[in-house]
Amino acid sequence: MRRDEQGHLNKDELVMAVVGEAGLAEEMRKHLALCRHCVAEKERLARDLAVLGEMAKGFTPPLRKTVIIPDEQFFRHSRPWGWRLAFGTTLATAVVVIMLSLFLFRPTPGVNLAALNKEMLSDERLMTEISMLENNPMPPKWEAIAGETDSTVDEAFIDFVVPLGADDEVS
Amino acid sequence: MLKNKLVWILFAVVSLFPVVSRAAEDSPAGRWWRLPQVAAQLNLSEQEKQQLDSLYLENRKKLIDLKSSLERERLVLEDIMDNEPLNEQQAFEQFRKLNKVRSILVEERFRYFLEVRKIIGSDRFQKLKLLADAFRKRDRFGRE
């Protein structure tokens, strides 16, 4: 904004003079110190601004909520019963439940009766075979020749193996 | 005729073989100590059960090996007996071999029984025999 012919301060420079003279150039500050007109303009502007400030206050509703700066807000929300506590509690509960489940429902060896019975049957078969071998290690087909009693061998089979009256022919 | 006589002799020897494992034959099959009711009746500790587990495993491994050996020797004897002319000496040698394996097998069964007796002690051993009888009367040991 241009200055007038007498070198008075323009509006911007007057505003600057109200806000703080330090912002003005040296030449302007000297002029302001000597010029009654500029001083009067500056005081008038200051008064107008003061009135405007008062009017603004009148139109501004009173503050009902405390303004919290971001850092303060962060610290207020980080209290122990926040998300972290909820997450920690859930995690701890889950761990306890898992541990209890493992303890209560673990497959204990020897309690599985079905598998144990199967194993016992299998072992019984093995031991029966071993007993038979102990009692008679000879080949089963020799039993009839040796006269071993076996209910599964009928007389016809014995006759076939050892025909009556044919002893001399058998070598 | 010679073969017939030899077979008779072999069976006579077999029938005279002392039945050391008679008691072992009466023992229940499998891991009876893992049956809850038996374990409770005999008041078996977990350590004793584990000892019996180890004994059982070792014994059954040996028995399976010995059974295979016995069957193999039996097969060899059978082959010798089928040969013509018959080598009587070879047949007897093979029979003695067979009988030796058999005696080891019997001994191994008896050893198992002996070890069970050592693990569970005299009183519980007597109780086990009674339990085994009772269960056997119910068809199978621990099973219905």
Which CATH number belongs to the domain containing residue B73 in this structure? 1.20.120
Does B142 contact A120 at a Cβ distance shorter than 8 Å? yes
Interface contact A60, partner B, CB < 8 A: no
Of A119, A124, A134, the CB nearest to B106: A134
Does B4 contact A145 at a Cβ distance shorter than 8 Å? yes
Does B34 contact A109 at a Cβ distance shorter than 8 Å? yes
- Please indicate whether residue A91 or residue A105 has the higher confidence score (pLDDT): A91
Q: Residue B5 corresponds to which tokens in the numbers above?
A: 């006589």
Q: How confident is the model at residue B7 (pLDDT cuts 50, 70, 90)?
A: low
Q: Confirm whether B116 is domain-assigned.
A: yes
Q: Confirm whether A37 is domain-assigned.
A: yes
Q: Which of A119-128, B49-58, B82-91 has the lowest mean pLDDT?
A: A119-128
Does A120 contact B30 at a Cβ distance shorter than 8 Å? yes
Interface contact B111, partner A, CB < 8 A: no
Interface contact A108, partner B, CB < 8 A: no
* Most confident option among A26-40, A100-114, A138-152, B59-73: B59-73
Nearest by Cα to A25 from A7, A37, A40, A41: A7
The alpha-carbon gap from B122 to the nearest alpha carbon of chain A, in Å, equals: 24
Mean of per-residue pLDDT scores for chain B:
82
Q: Confirm whether B24 is domain-assigned.
A: no
Residue B66 reports pLDDT greater than 70: yes
Of A124, A138, A142, the CB nearest to B29: A124
The alpha-carbon gap from A108 to the nearest alpha carbon of chain B, in Å, equals: 11
Q: Which of A12-21, A51-60, A108-117, A128-137 has the lowest mean pLDDT?
A: A108-117
Q: Give me the pLDDT at residue A170, please.
A: 43
Q: Confirm whether B54 is domain-assigned.
A: yes
Show the domain range for A139.
113-163
Q: Give A135's contacts in chain B (Cβ within 8 Å).
A: 19
> What's the residue count for chain A?
171
- State whether residue A160 is helix, strand or coil: helix
Q: Give B103's contacts in chain A (Cβ within 8 Å).
A: none
Q: Give me the pLDDT at residue B13, please.
A: 43
- Please indicate whether residue B119 or residue B22 has the higher confidence score (pLDDT): B119
Task: Report how many domains make up chain B.
Answer: 1
Q: Give me the pLDDT at residue A61, please.
A: 75
The alpha-carbon gap from A140 to the nearest alpha carbon of chain B, in Å, equals: 10
Q: Confirm whether B132 is domain-assigned.
A: yes
Q: Confirm whether A169 is domain-assigned.
A: no
Q: Confirm whether A82 is domain-assigned.
A: no
CA A168 to chain centre: 92
Q: Confirm whether B26 is domain-assigned.
A: no
Q: Give me the pLDDT at residue B116, please.
A: 93
Task: Report how many domains make up chain A.
Answer: 2
Q: Give A113's contacts in chain B (Cβ within 8 Å).
A: 35-36
- Please indicate whether residue A105 or residue A90 has the higher confidence score (pLDDT): A90
- Please indicate whether residue B92 or residue A83 has the higher confidence score (pLDDT): B92
Does A146 contact B70 at a Cβ distance shorter than 8 Å? no
In angstroms, rounded to a whole number, what is the distance separating the alpha carbons of residues B102 and A4? 136
Q: Which residues contact A142 (CB under 8 A, 6 or more apart)?
A: B7, B11
Residue A41 reports pLDDT greater than 50: yes
Tell me the per-residue pLDDT of A96-119, one tens digit each, with 9 for 90 and over. 988 887 766 655 554 678 888 888
pLDDT, mean of residues B116-123: 93
The answer to whether A117 and B34 have CB atoms below 8 angstroms apart is: no
Q: Confirm whether B14 is domain-assigned.
A: no
Which residue, A21, A40, A59, sits at the end of a domain? A59
Of A130, A136, A168, the CB nearest to B105: A130
Residue B17 reports pLDDT greater than 90: no
Nearest by Cα to B44 from A20, A1, A110: A110
- Any bridge partners for residue A18, and if so which? none
Q: Which residues contact B116 (CB under 8 A, 6 or more apart)?
A: B27, B52, B55, B125, B128
Show the domain range for B105.
34-137
Q: Give me the pLDDT at residue B8, please.
A: 52
Contacts 24+ apart (CB under 8 A), A100-109: A109/B34
| DSSP conformation class of B1 | -
Does A145 contact B102 at a Cβ distance shorter than 8 Å? no
